[in-house]
Structure 1
Amino acid sequence: MDKKKFPVLIKYCFLKGKNTVKAKTWLDAEFPDTARGKSTIKHSYTKLRCGEMNTEGGEHSGRPKEVVTDENIKKIHKMIATECVHHIIDEYLGMRKLCAKWVPHKLTFDQQ
């Protein structure tokens, strides 16, 4: 059976007044190979008790399907190049790394 039809069957059990155990037993008897799990039924019952009667799968939050694009890769490379600690110390503080220590680009007479 199609996965999308199970929320309707779970809602049917809920409206008939069956608890989650009876709903699971009934679904296992009717659809032994494809019935939903106990936690899925409990989650659906919780939503139904809160008044969410929609059985259609709506939009879900989460990672978009197309995350790795050329545009995103370029943006990330730019962020890494311009917003890392090394860049800040080099550009804004005027220091560079020399022998594992950060020293100013321009040394004073005493520092030489």
Structure 2
Amino acid sequence: MEKIEYRVVIKFLFLKGNTPTKIKDELDSVYGDSAPLFSIVKFWLAEFKCGRESLVDDERLGRPNTASTDNNIAKFHQMVLDNHRIKVRESILNQDLGMRKLSARWVSRLLTLDQIRVR
């Protein structure tokens, strides 16, 4: 079940005047193991008591997940190839390009076809 569907049920039971414990027991009896935790129920009850109407998550600060686009990855790969001694703390190197730090250089974990031919 989606998070927003649980929130709808929590809001409905809150508007009926149920306590957090009653709401958690009701969710457990209907949804079993997939019911949200008591801390989540308390959080959303506090939000609804403060006057929140929306059931969707608020925007979060920080870098969006879309920062590592194919275009950015290609540019970053070229930067690393131009200067192997680049000092960065980027997850693009590890996750997207499959590189790791060896001594003072970033090298590919797997050999390319050209490197295999040379060996």
Short-chain TM bin: 0.5 to 0.7
Offset of residue 58 of structure 1: 4.2
- 2:52 corresponds in structure 1 to 52
Answer 1 or 2: which has greater helix percent.
2
Offset of residue 54 of structure 1: 1.2
Unaligned runs of 5+ in 1: 82-112
Distance in 2 of aligned mates of 1:71 and 1:61: 26
- 1:26 corresponds in structure 2 to 26
Unaligned runs of 5+ in 2: 88-119
SS in 2 for 1:32: helix
Distance in 1 of aligned mates of 2:50 and 2:67: 34
- 2:63 corresponds in structure 1 to 63
SS in 2 for 1:66: helix
Give CA-to-partner distance per residue, 1:16-39, whole Å, 9 cap, x none.
111111110000001103111011
Identity %: 31
Structure with the greater alpha carbon radius of gyration: 1
Residue type of the partner of 2:48?
Answer: L
SS in 1 for 2:63: coil
- 1:16 corresponds in structure 2 to 16
Distance in 1 of aligned mates of 2:65 and 2:6: 25
May I ask how many residue pairs the two structures share in their alignment? 77
Distance in 2 of aligned mates of 1:3 and 1:42: 15
Residue type of the partner of 2:49?
Answer: R
Distance in 2 of aligned mates of 1:7 and 1:15: 12
- 2:93 corresponds in structure 1 to none
Q: Which runs of 4+ in 1 moved over 4 A?
A: 70-74
Distance in 2 of aligned mates of 1:40 and 1:31: 15
Give CA-to-partner distance per residue, 1:71-96, whole Å, 9 cap, x none.
9956xx9xx89xxxxxxxxxxxxxxx
